[in-house]
Chain A
Amino acid sequence: MFDWISWNVVLAVIAAFVKAFVVVNALLVAFAYMTLTERKVMGRMQVRYGPNRVGPFGLLQPIADGIKLAFKEDVTPSQANIWVHTIAPIMALVPALIIFAVIPIGPSLLIADQPWTWYIANINVSYLYVTAVASLGVYGLVLAGWASNNKYSLLGGLRASAQMISYELAQAAAALTVVILAGSINLYEIVEQQNRSLIPYALYLPVGLVAFAVYLIAGVAETNRAPFDLPEAEGELGAGFHTEYSGFKWSMFFMAEYVNMVNVSAIAIVLFLGGWWPAVPYLGETVAGIVGPIFFLLKLALFMFFFIWLRSTLPRLRFDRLMGLGWKVLFPVALVNLMVTAVIVALWPTGVWPFI
């Protein structure tokens, strides 16, 4: 009766469910401990200790914070649009969580003749999926700003929409450079290409490096992190779009911000830093299949440190300057870079790289 069901498909579906469960929980735990790491690292940079009261070295602080936020009163302003006000944080968080489905964190390998993959889904247009889902996240911010019926929130929401849409263009143009170099829009294939050619795309001079720089700056702006934290700019707008949020709804915005940091870093690693490079070319297939994710996570940790470092060092940009930087500097640079790459790839299609 069900002979059209192959057991391999059933296994794959179950594996995908398990992996999705693990990834979502891992992201949320990563978020919790990112907050602790950020407070600790910033504390050290600012000649203070950071949280160290709850548990050994303050390790239980995120759990205490989580419990506090979950039990906090959830206030909705009287004039707010209650439905939009409730849906907005969900719309911010869900896209952030589902982006990770297509990110490969290690090379595929065979375990007991069964294929094992370090991603949840491998769709052939996975980068397109990433951009599509990432741009959904901005709705959460805009709607939060609008639904709160607060002028500061409104200004924050407007800033968020303008900023994220502008910087997505530069980001996508930078990523397209890599897509042209790799000849594929599949993230797993892009990483494979880098490992095959033994160097990550960030070291393809000059186009790869320029694209990497543009992607990184635009990525920081995408995640609304300092120095581009204008939508929440606490010195100017109170707390920007989430001024009127409290309790768990507020913490969903918070989660979305940190999970987005993880996403942007993970995609930067996949596109420019060769994913699990240098595990594959130098350690052999099987070993790389197991230690590859460790290389990936180490790079991720470096990116997170970079984000924290930026935040504790730099002042905030002004809004018009931010838009100027996005439209007048980053976007043109990324476009020219893209065209140069296209010309180079057209002239030397065999992959003989002239600049290295």
Chain B
Amino acid sequence: MVMLSETRTESGTMILNMGPQHPSTHGVLRLLLELEGEVVVNCVPDIGFLHTGIEKTMEARNYHQAIVLTDRTDYLSPISNNLSYVLACEKLFNIEHDVPRRAQVIRVILCELSRIASHLIWLGTHALDLGATTVFMYCWREREQILSIFEFISGVRMMTSYMRIGGLAADVPEGFEERVAGFVRSLPPRINDYEALLTRNPIFLDRTRDIGYLSREDALKFGLAGPCLRASGVQFDVRVQFPYCGYEEYDFDVPYSNEGDVYARYMVRVREMRESVKIIRQGLEKLKGLKGEEYRIDNPKIAFPKREQIHRSMESLIHHFKLVSEGPVPQPGEAYGILESPRGEQGTYVFSDGSNKPHRVRFRPPGFYNLQALPQLVIGRMVADVVACIGSIDIVLGEIDR
């Protein structure tokens, strides 16, 4: 690591410290750039400014309490983090096939909503980095609608903690379907608006075409995930390859591109938003046939009994007490929950020693792997392209630093 006080190297290049306080490093990423004029000769990402010790803290919480911590890693799509941890726990408790269908469908709908919300933020900030301020405001408007849907179901806008081992925290309230249906009806014309401002805008094309190119081989070598990987021509999507929550029943395309540049990543994500709308529509159709069904597994050793049962039966009260005081206790073993978060393959590894607390939890944050490719994207490019490239890999420092 180059020292900060060093302003000039022996070869006469300039060291520029970009971040952690910088408008376009998307949080507290610090980049050390070696510049020759405005051309980047070398780039060293320095992470860790947002380290919160979430994985370690989870070891001191029981399996239920740890759910709220997962929200805080990738704070732009908390539902995905919730779900990947919960999926791992469900494997650990051996109940992954017993989760009620209604819960699965609602999980899919919420995941896709949070994918749209995350992509909206990405699109807005990416455009803002390139100087297009209006797209940013438009995206924020739509994201606000998604957040108010989250608030409607869970009472919280961002850190919903709505997933539970074996189902959901609560059933969705009356009117959820109509609100979501109204939102997905209004979204595609809005996406057309964003595209009208960007997709064929010559300045935007100039700033994104052939910038930050990553070949298919390099993308695989770096272990990239999600839209970044698909933009380099690899058709890999966890929702298709390793379906969870019944994704195999939904009909949707996996957008991909062979271009591998910033523009390809833009196109892939914009098309993904449209695909998410398709999935949500199908989910709402399925939800119609599942009215009044269970939203949580009926297993008092793992999931909380219903409130009215606690009032009526002694066993339920005892189960409730045990779940609150001790928490669910799995068999010793290990499990890996994996899903496609907005940023890519989001994994949670949980190791159980047979106690009521996880012995070790580790996340596989897609942003961490995507960030590794950044130096390759920006070396030989200009400072302005660094900003475009950081935006295009869509990092969230919360999940990278954990």
Q: Do A and B bind each other?
A: yes
Which 7 pairs show the lowest CB-CB distances between chains A and B?
A316-B131, A46-B137, A315-B132, A315-B130, A235-B129, A315-B131, A235-B24
CB distance from A331 to the nearest CB of B (A): 19
Instruction: Show 8 A/B contacts (Cβ-Cβ < 8 Å), sorted by A.
Output: A47-B141, A233-B131, A236-B384, A236-B387, A315-B132, A315-B201, A317-B203, A318-B206
| A3 close to chain B: CB less than 8 A | no
Interface code B236-253, partner A: CB below 8 Å = 1, 0 otherwise? 000000000000000000
Say whether A316 contacts B16, CB under 8 Å: no
> CA of A311 to CA of B132 in the docked complex: distance in angstroms?
8
Say whether B22 contacts A238, CB under 8 Å: yes
| A234 close to chain B: CB less than 8 A | yes
| A312 close to chain B: CB less than 8 A | yes
> CA of A319 to CA of B386 in the docked complex: distance in angstroms?
13
The one of A42, A234, A314 that contacts B132, using a Cβ cutoff of 8 Å: A314
Residues on A with C-beta less than 8 A from B386 are 236
| A313 close to chain B: CB less than 8 A | yes
Q: A314-B203, A315-B131, A315-B203 are in contact. List 6 more A-B contacts (CB 8 A).
A: A229-B131, A315-B204, A315-B207, A316-B132, A318-B206, A321-B206
Residues on B with C-beta less than 8 A from A318 are 206-207, 382, 384-385
Say whether A236 contacts B24, CB under 8 Å: yes
Residues on A with C-beta less than 8 A from B141 are 47
The one of A42, A155, A312 that contacts B38, using a Cβ cutoff of 8 Å: A155
* A window 226-273: CB within 8 A of B: 226-227, 229-230, 233-238
| A48 close to chain B: CB less than 8 A | yes
| A151 close to chain B: CB less than 8 A | yes
| B23 close to chain A: CB less than 8 A | yes
Candidate in A229, A234, A316 with the most chain B CB atoms within 10 angstroms = A316
Candidate in B23, B204, B384 with the most chain A CB atoms within 10 angstroms = B384
CB distance from B59 to the nearest CB of A (A): 39
> CA of A46 to CA of B120 in the docked complex: distance in angstroms?
15
* A window 210-234: CB within 8 A of B: 226-227, 229-230, 233-234
| B127 close to chain A: CB less than 8 A | yes
Q: Which range holds the interface residue count of chain A?
A: 20 to 34
Say whether B384 contacts A313, CB under 8 Å: no
CB distance from A319 to the nearest CB of B (A): 6
> CA of A151 to CA of B33 in the docked complex: distance in angstroms?
12
Residues on A with C-beta less than 8 A from B7 are 151
> CA of A321 to CA of B130 in the docked complex: distance in angstroms?
14
CB distance from A158 to the nearest CB of B (A): 8
| B299 close to chain A: CB less than 8 A | no
CB distance from A161 to the nearest CB of B (A): 13
| B14 close to chain A: CB less than 8 A | yes
Contacts known (A235-B23, A236-B24); A46 close to B138, Cβ less than 8 A: yes
Chain B residue at minimal CB-CB distance from A237: B383
Say whether B23 contacts A315, CB under 8 Å: no
> CA of A321 to CA of B206 in the docked complex: distance in angstroms?
8
Say whether B23 contacts A316, CB under 8 Å: no
| B317 close to chain A: CB less than 8 A | no
CB distance from A170 to the nearest CB of B (A): 18
Interface code A20-52, partner B: CB below 8 Å = 1, 0 otherwise? 000000000000000000000010011110000
Residues on A with C-beta less than 8 A from B197 are 313
| A320 close to chain B: CB less than 8 A | yes
Say whether A312 contacts B133, CB under 8 Å: yes
> CA of A229 to CA of B207 in the docked complex: distance in angstroms?
15
| B134 close to chain A: CB less than 8 A | yes
CB distance from B187 to the nearest CB of A (A): 15
Interface code B6-27, partner A: CB below 8 Å = 1, 0 otherwise? 0100000010110000111000
Say whether B134 contacts A312, CB under 8 Å: yes
| B128 close to chain A: CB less than 8 A | yes
Say whether B131 contacts A319, CB under 8 Å: no
Residues on B with C-beta less than 8 A from A236 are 24, 129, 383-384, 386-387
Candidate in A46, A152, A321 with the most chain B CB atoms within 10 angstroms = A46
Residues on A with C-beta less than 8 A from B132 are 313-316
Interface code B321-352, partner A: CB below 8 Å = 1, 0 otherwise? 00000000000000000000000000000000
CB distance from A181 to the nearest CB of B (A): 31
* B window 131-170: CB within 8 A of A: 131-134, 137-138, 141
Say whether A42 contacts B14, CB under 8 Å: no
Say whether B16 contacts A151, CB under 8 Å: yes
CB distance from A320 to the nearest CB of B (A): 6
Residues on A with C-beta less than 8 A from B383 are 155, 236-237
The one of B22, B24, B129, B131 that contacts A314, using a Cβ cutoff of 8 Å: B131
CB distance from A49 to the nearest CB of B (A): 12
Interface code B200-213, partner A: CB below 8 Å = 1, 0 otherwise? 01011011000000
CB distance from B66 to the nearest CB of A (A): 37
> CA of A312 to CA of B132 in the docked complex: distance in angstroms?
7
CB distance from A238 to the nearest CB of B (A): 7
Residues on B with C-beta less than 8 A from A313 are 132, 134, 197
Say whether A235 contacts B387, CB under 8 Å: yes
> CA of A230 to CA of B38 in the docked complex: distance in angstroms?
12
Interface code B259-301, partner A: CB below 8 Å = 1, 0 otherwise? 0000000000000000000000000000000000000000000
> CA of A68 to CA of B4 in the docked complex: distance in angstroms?
34
Residues on A with C-beta less than 8 A from B130 are 235, 315-316
The one of A48, A155, A227 that contacts B137, using a Cβ cutoff of 8 Å: A48
Interface code A301-331, partner B: CB below 8 Å = 1, 0 otherwise? 0000000000111111111110000000000
Residues on A with C-beta less than 8 A from B134 are 42, 45-46, 312-313
Chain A residue at minimal CB-CB distance from B384: A318
